[in-house]
Structure 1
Amino acid sequence: MKIDPNTSRVLHVDLDSGKSHALTIEDRHMHIGGSGLAAVLYERYGADDAPADDPRQPLIFAIGPLTGFYPLMSKVVCGFRSPYTGEWSESHAGGRLALSIRFAGYDAIMITGKAAKLSALVVGSRSCEVENVAYLRGKDVFATGKFLRKFGKHNSGHRSAIRIGPAGERGVAYACINVDSFRHFGRMGSGAAMGYKNLKGIIISGDGAYDLPEGKAYADMMQDIYKDITETGKMKKYHDLGTPQNLIPLNELHALPWNNLQKTHDEGVDGISGETFAEQLLLRQAACAGCPVGCIHIGLLRQQFASEHEFLYKQVSYDYEPIYAQGSMLGITNAADVLALLDETEKMGLDCMSAGVALAWAAEATEKGLISKEETIVDLKFGEMKGFLEALKFISSGENAFYQALSRGSMSAAKLYGGEDFACVLGQEMAGYATGEVFFVASAYGFRHSHLDTGGYAFDQNNTEKNAEKAVEFMLEDERGRIYINSMMGCLFARGTYGPDKLQEALRAAGFTNIAENLEEAGKYIQKLRWQLKCKTGFNVDAVTIPKRFTEVVTWKGAIDTVYMDEVAKRYSAAIKEMAQCDKQ
């Protein structure tokens, strides 16, 4: 199969009818793929005036033009109306999914409608079927994976299985989609978006083939990029300790959130450091398909309680953000306890960051007497793992009115029970970088309310001057640079290799000259379109607030400068409105 450099091929599956057909999306030089293609598809097929759970809303999985051509072009964007915010959003994941979609012959899979019964979608290069899997209702992520793998057995090495747990079925606002066991579409509630469609899982069989470019240019470029990734040391951090390497440095900078951000430093950090995980719990490392780095660190969790089997052990993936959210944020200083919480979070199909931060808010609300055991059912105390372990199940099941509120997010619960000032929410539950003013603003106002939108944390760390204009200029330019990568669907860990110039060279060598020549204009177009869609679907730039807790933070630079933070927020808000033309809609 030859890949058309000018168009994108999209499989549209209508669950209402159970039918599917291929679409051709023109102007690839403008939408590129990935984030850009997902945005174009939502613009054409989404229902701006309908809520996130409306069956008409598309659920989109898109890859980029360079997927399968170069190392670390291994990500997929999931585009959807967020059950958390109600707005157009994205989440990104690795695993085998990107190459499975490529070998199935598509640039994106778009799903609309709602299945009559709990179903699994099974896609191959020459097939598309909707299977009744009502027997999987209520099953956890791991049990679901075992059942789903019976589909496409003949393509076992070339398929990807994504699925949701009980949280996604119930519509928990921060439910996630598990991808190939150890990767996730984590943030903004993608699991609930999939649950709204009565989809328990999707299996993509990469049972087709595609042609690689002929000639010396592509071979040389492939070798050049491979050497840069494997021989220069750029990826050493991610391979060795991985992102958990960040725990001790951030703790030393007084920038690691502890106990619901009541402090930013704790002497107990060694117990959950990347070094401790590597020395005591690391079982093995894995890699996404098409990646030579191996940044996926998988820990060995032995049986935790006497009721469990003597020889039981579990494999649990860990990274910096999961350790922060269900370690330091909860006052947990034992690495095995963190793995136990992450294992339960995984089974339920919850975003580990939002779940951890939500429980941290609940623990502080308990300390302050705003809620009691009558609401929480179990004791929620910083540093004590067992109560949090049970609470994760209660969030997933919506055990009572309190956990039903908490399943909609920390701020949603705080508005009912009090404690809005210390709800650590910046659009959604915060990421683990208490670095200062620019990061807080970037997350509160950012497109995905994520540390992945811009490197606001890096700006805080690398700039001592308080220049709001310079900060906003950095955020806008850094976002656009990441859009290039996210439309190619490359791993952000490789952005040091895939700068704009190198991307253009790689595109030309792979036969995508039209995209290469239009890359800058395409980046601007996609950036603007994404913001326009976010505003059309309900984002009110003027209504964004930063809770009081973030004004009380003390880092290595001292106390937060609220005047500076307000100025950055004012300028960033204005830039977003100008780009999205919110006032003209």
Structure 2
Amino acid sequence: MAVKPVPRILVINLAEERVETIRREDLAPFIGGIGVATKLFSELVDVEKDALDPVQPIILANGPMSTIFPVVTKTVAVFRSPLTGEWGESYAGMRLALAMRMTGFQAIVIKGRAKRPMYLAISHQGVRFKDATALWGLSVSETGSILRDLESGRGHRSCIRIGPAGERGVRFANVNVDTYRHFGRLGLGALFGSKNLKAVVIHGEREEPIENFAQYSRVYKEIYNKAVTTDIMDKYHGIGTAINVNGLNNLNGLPTKNLQQSSFDQAAAISGEAFAEQSLIRKMACAGCPVGCIHIGLHRREFGPGYDYESKNLSYDHELIFALGSFLGMSSQEKIYELIDAVEELGLDAISAGVLLGWVTEAFEKGILTEEQLGVRPAFDHSKPYLQILRKLVQQPNELYRFLALGAYAAAQRYGGQEYAMTLAKNEIAGYHTGYANILGQAVGARHSHLDNAGYSVDQKLKDKSPVEKVEALVKEEKWRNVLNCLTICLFAREIYQLDTVLAALDSIGIPSTEEELEKLGEDIFRLKQDTRRQLGYDFNQVEVPKRFFETTSVTGNLNREAFQEMVEHYKAHTCPQN
């Protein structure tokens, strides 16, 4: 078996303002990314303590192919989720992977709680602990603007930071990465806030020569050509993921008005095509990507009543248009941009925020919540009340808003309406209603995301297959995605990075592997995640699915609980034989 490189890990103790660099030979077989992060997290997490306890670690990791191959752009964060209480895993692009690589660190572990608000300045020369008291309370964009002036390294620098939502412990607060990307799901921003950590600025200038440059260059060019001269990545560069809005709507798979509907009569007005025609102004790419899938639209907003307007650039994609658009019955781009702007500045995960607002609206309509509690009268297709609710759930002026800050699942447990609180394993759903595999995939996947195992795709591609075949497809896909995520390949490029391409790329940078080794790697990570999740409280025998999923027609037709439960049992038998 070939020897894998030993990862270099930076360990930061916020409480003691102490730094340590370690190398772990036993981590080498995990290659990098989610493999290294999973192993470190399984060792460091305290399963007996709350997700926001200072002892809990934050782990950031990239892989050996990061930014030196096309579309290998991601950094993974692993943590105990404040939203679900169990496994937290999130990915972000822009410049973070490049900046980390140029510091020479493949993983960064952050532990403890700072004595005062702080930001970290990390470079190839070391770590500086900087006072962030003056930044505490500022919005995401204000914080980023100041830090870009304070810290050098333009181009090779990445700035990740939280907004007021993270400071106030909103359990679905995100971490903004270089303005247009995020560690969005599962509440990493709340964990930053609990550690008094406002931001991390990373800047590297370390050179890293490639030994067999001729072989590397040949493989690089082959991958690059696939990315830019074939139609594999056309969707992402063209209309972007927002092209899914019309597609899903036509198939009865677009969650609308808190999933009371699976199609939206105003979908054309908020489709990816409409955004491109009316408000798209530019496209951007993460460092190391030739595709440019980040679509930036122009939002005109008023400074305040009676004041002039300003133009603001905001990123949009399918998930934002779903969560802050169709799910809330929004009939115009302007209203969606208003909500995107708010969640960006406050530092909230857009999906969780939108799905929570959907539950709030229906709960208000049904009399479970009152205007006195909310301070406003929420209604589908009305953005202004939602803007007030978003600000209040950060301020948390009363008991209701303190529960709303815990997420839709916790709020419904307290006030009722669980049957239409659209969460799976306590995480707010993604923008698909395709069938059983989509529901199961999010309910049992490691991070309860559609990106764990592509259940939405299994529903459509394996529509006529048996429940066992669908379950096997979900498990197989999740294991392979573990391999891709060890290398921190953007999953938009998964069709480019098939097995042979992955093996060739690794071999070209001196990490020869075999199909059997990669298969074992995906399996080992899958099992280690499962074991850690059980210790954190996840129970496959207690999968809860809101009734609404079985009331609203999906892409694959009407669903019933009995058929879904059959798939749950197949999954448990396939992946958890001890149960």
Shorter-chain TM-score above 0.5: yes
Of 358, 381, 384, which residue of structure 1 is paired with 2:382? 384
**Equivalences for residues 187-198 of structure 1 within 5 A:** 187-198=185-196
Distance 1:466 1:377, change over 3 A: farther
Note the residue ranges of structure 1 that are not aligned, 5 or more in a row.
none
Of 320, 323, 326, which residue of structure 1 is paired with 2:324? 326
Provide, for residues 301-349 of structure 1, a one-character-per-residue CA deviation record: whole Å limited to 9, x for no partner.
Answer: 0025762642411111101001100000000010111011001000000
Distance 1:214 1:138, change over 3 A: same
Distance 1:327 1:308, change over 3 A: farther
Give the equivalent residue in structure 2 for 1:355. Answer: 353
**Equivalences for residues 330-409 of structure 1 within 5 A:** 330-409=328-407
Whether the 8 Å contact between 1:7 and 1:24 is mirrored in structure 2 is: yes
Whether the 8 Å contact between 2:302 and 2:310 is mirrored in structure 1 is: no
Of 395, 415, 418, which residue of structure 2 is paired with 1:417? 415
Give the equivalent residue in structure 2 for 1:125. Answer: 124
Give the equivalent residue in structure 1 for 2:47. Answer: 48
Distance 1:533 1:481, change over 3 A: same
Give the equivalent residue in structure 1 for 2:70. Answer: 71
**Equivalences for residues 130-529 of structure 1 within 5 A:** 130-153=129-152, 155-304=153-302, 307=305, 309-427=307-425, 428-465=427-464, 467-514=466-513, 518-529=517-528
- What is the rounded CA distance, in whole Å, between the counterparts of 1:512 and 1:101 in structure 2? 20
- What is the rounded CA distance, in whole Å, between the counterparts of 2:335 and 2:353 in structure 1? 15
**Deviation above 4 Å: which 4+ runs of structure 1?**
514-517
Provide, for residues 107-134 of structure 1, a one-character-per-residue CA deviation record: whole Å limited to 9, x for no partner.
Answer: 0111011100000011000120111111
- What is the rounded CA distance, in whole Å, between the counterparts of 2:521 and 2:461 in structure 1? 29
- What is the rounded CA distance, in whole Å, between the counterparts of 2:369 and 2:81 in structure 1? 28
- What is the rounded CA distance, in whole Å, between the counterparts of 2:474 and 2:456 in structure 1? 10
Give the equivalent residue in structure 2 for 1:20. Answer: 19
Whether the 8 Å contact between 1:468 and 1:568 is mirrored in structure 2 is: yes
- What secondary structure does 1:505 align onto? helix
Provide, for residues 220-241 of structure 1, a one-character-per-residue CA deviation record: whole Å limited to 9, x for no partner.
Answer: 1011011011111211110011
Whether the 8 Å contact between 2:303 and 2:310 is mirrored in structure 1 is: no
- What secondary structure does 2:186 align onto? helix
Whether the 8 Å contact between 2:460 and 2:556 is mirrored in structure 1 is: no
Between the two proteins, what is the percent identity of the paired residues? 40
Give the aligned length: 576
- Deviating more after overlay: 174-183 vs 211-220: 211-220
- What is the rounded CA distance, in whole Å, between the counterparts of 2:513 and 2:476 in structure 1? 23
Measure how far apart 1:149 and its partner are: 1.5
- What secondary structure does 2:77 align onto? strand
Measure how far apart 1:417 and its partner are: 1.4
- What secondary structure does 2:348 align onto? coil
Whether the 8 Å contact between 2:176 and 2:183 is mirrored in structure 1 is: yes
- What is the rounded CA distance, in whole Å, between the counterparts of 2:216 and 2:242 in structure 1? 35
* In the alignment, structure 1 residue 37 sits paired with structure 2 residue 21: no
- What secondary structure does 1:511 align onto? coil
Whether the 8 Å contact between 1:160 and 1:180 is mirrored in structure 2 is: yes
Whether the 8 Å contact between 2:480 and 2:519 is mirrored in structure 1 is: no
Whether the 8 Å contact between 2:4 and 2:29 is mirrored in structure 1 is: no
- What is the rounded CA distance, in whole Å, between the counterparts of 2:316 and 2:516 in structure 1? 39
Measure how far apart 1:28 and its partner are: 4.5
Give the equivalent residue in structure 2 for 1:558. Answer: 557
- What is the rounded CA distance, in whole Å, between the counterparts of 1:574 and 1:36 in structure 2? 25
- What is the rounded CA distance, in whole Å, between the counterparts of 1:215 and 1:370 in structure 2? 65
Q: Which amino acid aligns with 2:56?
A: Q
- What is the rounded CA distance, in whole Å, between the counterparts of 1:112 and 1:445 in structure 2? 28
Whether the 8 Å contact between 2:11 and 2:21 is mirrored in structure 1 is: yes
- What is the rounded CA distance, in whole Å, between the counterparts of 1:371 and 1:517 in structure 2? 55
Q: Which amino acid aligns with 2:41?
A: Y
Whether the 8 Å contact between 1:507 and 1:516 is mirrored in structure 2 is: no
Measure how far apart 1:518 and its partner are: 2.2
- What secondary structure does 1:202 align onto? strand
Distance 1:147 1:429, change over 3 A: same
Provide, for residues 166-208 of structure 1, a one-character-per-residue CA deviation record: whole Å limited to 9, x for no partner.
Answer: 1111111100000000000000111011111110000000222
- What secondary structure does 2:134 align onto? helix
- What is the rounded CA distance, in whole Å, between the counterparts of 1:438 and 1:115 in structure 2? 43
Q: What is the Cα-based RMSD across aligned positions, in Å?
A: 1.5
Whether the 8 Å contact between 2:481 and 2:522 is mirrored in structure 1 is: no
- What is the rounded CA distance, in whole Å, between the counterparts of 2:516 and 2:306 in structure 1? 59
- What is the rounded CA distance, in whole Å, between the counterparts of 2:200 and 2:537 in structure 1? 29
Distance 1:134 1:493, change over 3 A: same
Provide, for residues 416-469 of structure 1, a one-character-per-residue CA deviation record: whole Å limited to 9, x for no partner.
Answer: 211111110112110010111111111112111101001110111123325110
Whether the 8 Å contact between 1:122 and 1:128 is mirrored in structure 2 is: yes
Distance 1:295 1:9, change over 3 A: same
Note the residue ranges of structure 2 that are not aligned, 5 or more in a row.
none
Whether the 8 Å contact between 1:481 and 1:500 is mirrored in structure 2 is: no
- What secondary structure does 1:453 align onto? coil
- Deviating more after overlay: 514-523 vs 279-288: 514-523
TM (normalized to structure 2)? 0.97
- What is the rounded CA distance, in whole Å, between the counterparts of 1:295 and 1:539 in structure 2? 34
Measure how far apart 1:89 and its partner are: 1.7
